[in-house]
Structure 1
Amino acid sequence: MDFLKPETVLDLKNIRDELVRMEDTIIFKFIERSHFPTCPAVYREGDANLRIPEFEGSFLDWALTRTEMTQSQLRRFESPDETPFFPDQILKPILPSVQYPRVLASYSPEININGEIKDVYINQITKLISKYDGESWENLGSVATIDIECLQSLSRRIHFGKFVAEAKFQADRPLYTKMIRERDIEGIYENITNSAVEEKILKRLCVKAEVYGVDPTNKEGQRKITPTYLVKIYRDLVIPLTKKVEVDYLLRRLECE
């Protein structure tokens, strides 16, 4: 998606095409994560074996913070589709800033549910995609590295709900304006939900998991990711969190009117 061409960004077809591409990224990141066990030490604050001087938090938090600091200097978080997990730690870019045309409302960066995404990933998703439940001390760095990639891919996908919300608001301003003024959260949820599209997503994920989740030269080999788990992750976690972003964004939309 070209964010320098705002006329294309809020096209729902373009948004859906981008979300389809994100599915592939997320699936392949999950497959990479499936080579390792759960490794709970990576997520445990104050773990005796992972003491980090002058840092409060888990090993993953430390690695993610440092990663985002470097990426921010490469202007990753200037892009309107990127949302940092530690916004108070990002640094000024070394590269010249890109002046993206404004498409979303000015408060958009404040719609950030990365804390919830990280919690869901650690406590629910890793249990579904890991090789087994246990530690692998020699692979903690590798686990943290792929966890960061998984988290950032999930975050981008879920926070893309802002673009969905803005597109839907622009498509029917009177309806959404009325619901926002009445604080009709149930009505907003009902109107942003497209059950047919969601069902299509889940069916497509089943097919992708079948194709990507096993070595095509050894179909009797161990499956790296199962359709059941992938559908569960999207149906129970990714789609609801995306809707939460949409609703949070829409509830403030009249601030810009």
Structure 2
Amino acid sequence: MDFLKPGTVLDLGNIRDELVRMEDTIIFKFIERSHFPTCPTVYKENDPNLQLPDFHGSFLDWALMQSEMTHSQLRRFESPDQTPFFPSKILKPILPSIQYPRVLASYSPEINLNQEIKDVYINQITPLISRFDGESWENFGSVATIDIECLQSLSRRIHFGKFVAEAKFQADRALYSKMILEQDIDGLYQSITNSAVEEKIMERLCVKAEVYGVDPTNKEGYRKITPAYLVKIYKELVIPLTKKVEIDYLLRRLECE
């Protein structure tokens, strides 16, 4: 998807293709995370065993903030498909800015569910994908590193709902304008829900988890990620959060008309 070409960005076919590619990214990040235990210390705020000078928060928060500060200097968050977890800490890019054509509404950066995504990841996803429940102090750095990659991949996928919402609004302005004016959340929810597409996603995830989730050369058949857990994560967490992004975006869409 080329964000310098607005016509390609709001094509629902292109958006769906991009979402399919994101599945692979997320699955492989989950597989990397599955090599480690839950490591709850990484997520504890102000843990006395992890000294973080002049910082209030968890070891993961500190590492994520440092990562975003560096990535912001490389222009990461100028791209409209990237949403920072620490927007107040974003730095000016060292590289020349890219003037992306405006595709989303001007308030789009304000639609940011990253705190909720992080809470869901820590409390609901890591228990499902971790190798076991417990600590591994020698791997705290590795765990935080892969957690950052998992969070960024999930954030991109979920916030891509903004592009879905804008594409659907553009395709039927009259219908969506009416529902927005009436603040018809149920109507909006029904209009953005495609049960057939969601069912295909679940079927595809099952196949991918079966193929990617186990090393065929491993005679013991240790499975790094299971289809049931992957489907559960998407069905109960990823897709509902994506829809929340879409609804939050659409409810304000007429501000720009």
Q: TM-score, normalised by structure 1?
A: 0.99
1:2 partnered with 2:2: yes
Counterpart residue number, 1:174: 174
Alignment map for 1:132-151 (pairs within 5 Å): 132-151=132-151
Deviations 1:55-112 (A, max 9, x none): 0000000000000000000000000000000000010000000000000001101100
Which residue identity lines up with residue 202 of structure 1 in the other structure? M
State the SS of the aligned residue for 1:28: helix
Deviations 1:150-174 (A, max 9, x none): 0000000000000000000001101
Q: 1:216: how far off? A: 1.8
Alignment map for 1:31-46 (pairs within 5 Å): 31-46=31-46
Counterpart residue number, 2:191: 191
Q: 1:221: how far off? A: 2.2
Q: 1:253: how far off? A: 0.1
Q: 1:219: how far off? A: 5.5
Deviations 1:174-208 (A, max 9, x none): 11000000000011000000000000000000000
Which residue identity lines up with residue 70 of structure 2 in the other structure? T
Q: 1:53: how far off? A: 1.1
Q: Which runs of 5+ in 2 are unaligned?
A: none
Counterpart residue number, 1:76: 76
CA distance in 2, matches of 1:46, 1:98: 38
* Same amino acid, percent of matched pairs: 85
State the SS of the aligned residue for 2:96: coil
Q: 1:27: how far off? A: 0.1
Distance change >3 Å, CA 240–CA 219, structure 1 → 2: farther
Further displaced range: 107-116 or 215-224:
215-224
State the SS of the aligned residue for 1:22: helix
CA distance in 1, matches of 2:48, 2:107: 40
Q: 1:218: how far off? A: 2.3
Q: TM-score, normalised by structure 2?
A: 0.99
Counterpart residue number, 1:206: 206
> For the aligned residues, what is the CA RMSD?
0.6
CA distance in 1, matches of 2:19, 2:105: 21
Distance change >3 Å, CA 219–CA 211, structure 1 → 2: farther
Aligned structure 1 segments of 4 or more residues deviating by more than 2 angstroms: 218-221
Matched residue count = 257
Q: 1:220: how far off? A: 3.5
Q: Which runs of 5+ in 1 are unaligned?
A: none
1:105 partnered with 2:80: no
Which residue identity lines up with residue 148 of structure 2 in the other structure? I
Counterpart residue number, 1:52: 52
Counterpart residue number, 1:226: 226
CA distance in 2, matches of 1:85, 1:161: 17
CA distance in 2, matches of 1:89, 1:42: 21
Counterpart residue number, 1:152: 152
